[in-house]
Amino acid sequence: MRDVSIIGIGQYEVGEHWDKSLRELGYYALAAAMKDAKVERLDAMYVGNMLSGELTNQEHIGALISDFAGLRGIEAIKIEAACGSGGAAMRIGYTAVAGGLHDIVACIGVEKMTDQQASTTTSSLATASDADYEALHGLSFVSINALLMRRYMHEYGYRKDDFANFAINAHANAVNNPYAMFPSPISAKAFAEAKPIADPINLLDSSPIADGAACVILAPTSIAKEFTDNPIRVKASAIATDTLAVHDRRDPLYLEGGAISAQKAYAAAGIGPNDIDVFELHDAFTIMSALSLEASGFAARGHGVRLAMEGHIGIGGRVPITTMGGLKARGHPVGATGIYQIAEVATQLRGQAGPNQVKNARLGMAQNIGGSGATVVTTILERI
Amino acid sequence: MRDVSIIGIGQYEVGEHWDKSLRELGYYALAAAMKDAKVERLDAMYVGNMLSGELTNQEHIGALISDFAGLRGIEAIKIEAACGSGGAAMRIGYTAVAGGLHDIVACIGVEKMTDQQASTTTSSLATASDADYEALHGLSFVSINALLMRRYMHEYGYRKDDFANFAINAHANAVNNPYAMFPSPISAKAFAEAKPIADPINLLDSSPIADGAACVILAPTSIAKEFTDNPIRVKASAIATDTLAVHDRRDPLYLEGGAISAQKAYAAAGIGPNDIDVFELHDAFTIMSALSLEASGFAARGHGVRLAMEGHIGIGGRVPITTMGGLKARGHPVGATGIYQIAEVATQLRGQAGPNQVKNARLGMAQNIGGSGATVVTTILERI
């Protein structure tokens, strides 16, 4: 297998883009990444997206975006794994380049969610859960996460406010991210007083519905320097699944898919969690941050939330997470999120994160979660 | 890159399966293929599907099926390219095995379409076309194909009945396919008198909406004999795109994506169309058969329909097509179709096609088309 690097990054700002179509969003991110990589052609593109059919009446968006970008003829396929679609598209792109089938590949994540009423979007998001055994009975994603958070608080004796720093840290970091949807700080008081959504989850535990698109361009490391002065190596790419329904898990508070994919990635990279300088985790809700930290080996079971409480998750902390705002404050255009995470880690490793730069960052990790943990994609990047 | 072979085939009968869920259909095909290959574990599965979200409120079906099959933990991803989703899943599976990332991989195609009213299914199918510039203006897939057929008849001077043999041949062959939805012959008279759907397309030009699932298991050819006595080599796998909307094509009657993907596949296999013994083409409508034959080099422009008129497309003919019934009579569960085609070609090359066996078949080709030609996947298989 060939060594693979990221040679280009493109992001479009996350927000409510009522004046931009799905194809425009995808194209803007792709064009920015191709410009960054100084490439004018591609061998293939893999488009991570979850809800184009449900929310914009458009499937077949591999062809849609390759056509709109003037790249007709190339291999172009939509990749779907719920909120893990972006990470899965990265995994497929990595597979194609590492395996020698393609040289220059774009991994795009794109989602357009805000054209529909929130109730439609919420029920469409529930298609990531088990339609027959979860969604049909009225569970939405926020309510599934509320059950997990309640259980976590009960098992380990935490209060709701113990989760506050996940949200506060994310918003503090988003201030310096030009692509963030909510680049504004929040206070502990605001968190404590935020409106409940599904108890114990409140508005500021929750990442927002959003439109957005991001893209990275991959190439064999052997030729990466022809395109960029600062290629970022994809040191590991791993994906694992778990039961679709939470009630089928051996332990609902353990992200087994997260643990398997992280272990695979660590093994492939020959490192452990202590070697990671930046960790973009999947903070769809604050509880998911805690579970992701634990599954990935950054904290013991029941201790993930302590990393936030004790102030270890900031830019200068022991485990810097959501360094550009995370899903919470950058925004969570579901199928695009996995690529935003990778773009942000790569930006950190390039040393281009501005005021949010993690000093001497050499190894970074992104973990993208589909559903309530049924798909987890872990990607480890390295500054060369 | 490694040489790749099919070591297992599984098909579930195409039909209206109101008593079977999406996960059951997918699992039945997977289990049959795993049994055929005598494998009990997989490294990954790629699930071709177009409309699970729209029609069954279920996305995330990679995890759904791996979970239901007792394979939790493995890599499992949904692959979407409209009616070309099955072929695209095959392409990704081939990429993973050829590239050395995985050894034993399942490529599944599954679709469940008949639980909804036909009007819902028809509008969901239109998400394969350009939502903003085709579907929004009232074009459905049958009407797009009707426009193409009318134009073809006008340009080349054919009558509607000249297309009859595509449907008659497909139905004649389906009689011996235990997985076919319509295993019953039709007459020229029945074709001539069939109800119009969108003039000039009538009911018997059109493939049926259906439920179904099929699966093939891939492995490196170097170890294929450990699993099966008759591995079938994947000699080439190629995918190409074209404009999403038909009106953007340089010539609406030329499937440029089909031509590019066929040329890529022929080049990779070191052969030409004259070497192909069996061709499973994408006869969603009879016009599409003619265009696919022309784009793939079996007939000159405007001559595709002649192959049917002059009797060359039967089992013993010069270009045997739809040898197990095709989309027309086997049925067209859209995202599953591409894998059924590959399963059927592989069955022919194994010499297991029963009364429909093409004698001494050594090289076979499947061509799976997404939308009205915006994605075309061409796969060439070889008896080893």
> What's the pLDDT at B184?
98
From residue B172, alpha-carbon distances to B166, B314, B324 in Å are: 10, 9, 9
Q: Mean pLDDT throughout A121-131?
A: 96
With beta carbons under 8 A apart, name residues in chain B contacting A62.
80-81, 88, 241, 375
Are B370 and A99 an interchain contact pair (Cβ–Cβ within 8 Å)? no
Dist CA B148 CA B21 (whole Å): 35
Catalytic residue among A17, A60, A83, A137: A83
Residue percentage of chain B with pLDDT more than 70? 100
> What's the pLDDT at B235?
98
Pick from B60, B98, B244: which is nearest to A371 by CB? B60
- Round the average pLDDT of chain A to a whole number and report it: 98
Instruction: With beta carbons less than 8 A apart as the criterion, state whether B356 and B324 touch.
Output: yes
Pick from A92, A98, A242: which is nearest to B72 by CB? A242
At residue B206, what are phi and psi to the nearest 5 degrees?
Answer: -105, 140
How far apart are the CA of B209 and the nearest CA of chain A, in angstroms?
18
Q: Mean pLDDT throughout B158-166?
A: 98
Are A79 and B82 an interchain contact pair (Cβ–Cβ within 8 Å)? no
Residue B180's pLDDT band (cuts 50, 70, 90): very high
pTM of full prediction above 0.90: yes
Residue A184's pLDDT band (cuts 50, 70, 90): very high
Q: What is the pLDDT of residues A28-48, one digit of tens each?
A: 999 999 999 999 999 999 999
Annotate B197-223 with DSSP letters as a single string: EETTEEGGGBPPP-BEEEEEEEEEHHH
ipTM for the whole complex: 0.98
B213: nearest Cα among B6, B7, B9: B9
Dist CA A73 CA A63 (whole Å): 9
Q: Mean pLDDT throughout B15-24?
A: 98
Number of neighbours of residue B368 by Cβ within 10 angstroms? 35
Dist CA A10 CA A23 (whole Å): 15
Structure tokens given for A137: 């009975």
Which pairing describes strands A278-280 and A232-241: parallel, antiparallel, or unpaired? unpaired
Instruction: With beta carbons less than 8 A apart as the criterion, state whether A30 and A215 touch.
Output: yes
Number of neighbours of residue B284 by Cβ within 10 angstroms? 26
> What's the pLDDT at B87?
98
Lowest mean pLDDT among A22-26, A136-140, A259-263: A136-140
Dist CA A297 CA A279 (whole Å): 12
How far apart are the CA of B92 and the nearest CA of chain A, in angstroms?
8
Are A81 and B77 an interchain contact pair (Cβ–Cβ within 8 Å)? yes
